[in-house]
Chains A and B, each alone.
Chain A
Amino acid sequence: MNKNQDYISDIAAIRVMMERTSKFLSLSGWAGVMAGLYALVGAYLAYQLAGFVPPKTLLTVVDPTETGFLFSVAIAIAVLLFSILTAAYLSQRRAERKGESIRNSSSKQMLRYMSTPLVAGGLLTIILLLQGLAAFAAPLTLLFYGLSLFNASHFTFSELRYLGFLLIILGLSSVLAPRLGLLFWAIGFGLLHIVYGVYIHMKYQR
């Protein structure tokens, strides 16, 4: 009987090692919640204070030097930076508590697969923004971020795949409603992040 317990703990050790070395599970649920809050605050600021004007159609060209436009872009960049810093900080803390590092082989894999669609989409968005095609910003950022999460989900919580899917769907739908771009953006980057973060926290990290 004692021998049998050894076999069971062998199998358990194998499973744990496979998961630990192939998935980055220190990704903090709170980081998702915080990123969502930043996005909601950002969307609110853009709408209320920065003088964000929703583009009438997808092909409406705005003046890229106009202040409302520049402010909105600056807010989006700030949201992105704060979200990345918060995620890095909170994940570092989680990893440290488990005696691990956030710079391990699975986190590097995750970032590599995540960053490729993200950088491609980011560059495309910047190119279009420089030409004043502001209505493309919300759909493209949602779509490419969704793709990058879908990719990243292979190397972390598999639930990230569903968040990726939802963002892709939101991105595609927002092409049909260019006036509602900011709303779609707030739902995708704000609300969905918060729901996902709370779910991961409750399920794995309490």
Chain B
Amino acid sequence: MIMLGIGFHKAFENRTRLGIMSALSVNEKLDFNALKEYLKVTDGNLASHLKALEKEDFIRFEKQFVERKPNTAYYITQAGKDAFATHVRALEQLIQAQRSV
């Protein structure tokens, strides 16, 4: 049972961060406002979770101008993809293990 804990990442314990990673894993990039709309969170809340994921090098951002307005686009990194995939696999294994008990 102890082995099953491997693969979980602390960064994904929070639902908003899990949501950010899910959204970015199926999109090439998403801007701040799109993420905010999908996750239904406040600016400050989203910004702090994005920063936390950035610190882990799971996501990266690019500042750009869209119709002359500043806009920040977020991308998932390879490290982020790997960590997220491992996390999802760990979740699935745990659920499997519980079911077969």
Chain A: residues with CB nearer than 8 A to chain B? 1, 4, 7-8, 10-11, 13-15, 17-18, 20-22, 99-101, 104-105
Contact = CB atoms under 8 A, between A and B. Distances in A.
A15 B30 CA distance: 17
Contact of A21 (B27, B88, B92, B95): B27
Given A22-B26, A99-B40, 14 more contacts: A4-B95, A7-B91, A11-B95, A13-B15, A17-B19, A17-B23, A18-B23, A20-B23, A21-B27, A21-B30, A21-B38, A100-B37, A104-B34, A105-B31
B34 A14 contact: no
Contacts of A11: 88, 91-92, 95
Interface string B82-101: 00000010011011001000
A10 B38 CA distance: 16
A20 B30 CA distance: 13
B77 interface: no
Contacts of B37: 100-101, 104
A101 B33 CA distance: 12
B18 A10 contact: yes
Nearest to B25: A18
Contacts of A101: 37
A105 B95 contact: no
B95 A14 contact: no
A18 B88 CA distance: 13
Contacts of B22: 13-15, 17-18, 21
A119 B91 CA distance: 45
A21 B18 contact: no
B27 A22 contact: yes
A13 B16 CA distance: 10
Contacts of A17: 18-19, 22-23, 38-39
A105 B31 CA distance: 9
A7 B27 CA distance: 24
A112 to B, nearest CB: 12
18 contacts: A7-B94, A7-B95, A10-B18, A11-B88, A11-B91, A13-B22, A14-B88, A15-B22, A17-B22, A18-B25, A20-B23, A21-B22, A21-B26, A21-B34, A22-B27, A99-B40, A105-B30, A105-B31
For the complex of A and B, the 3 pairs showing the least CB-CB separation, nearest first, are: A17-B22, A21-B23, A22-B26
Interface in B1-42: 15, 18-19, 22-23, 25-27, 30-31, 34, 37-40
A4 B31 CA distance: 33
B95 A8 contact: yes
Contacts of A99: 40
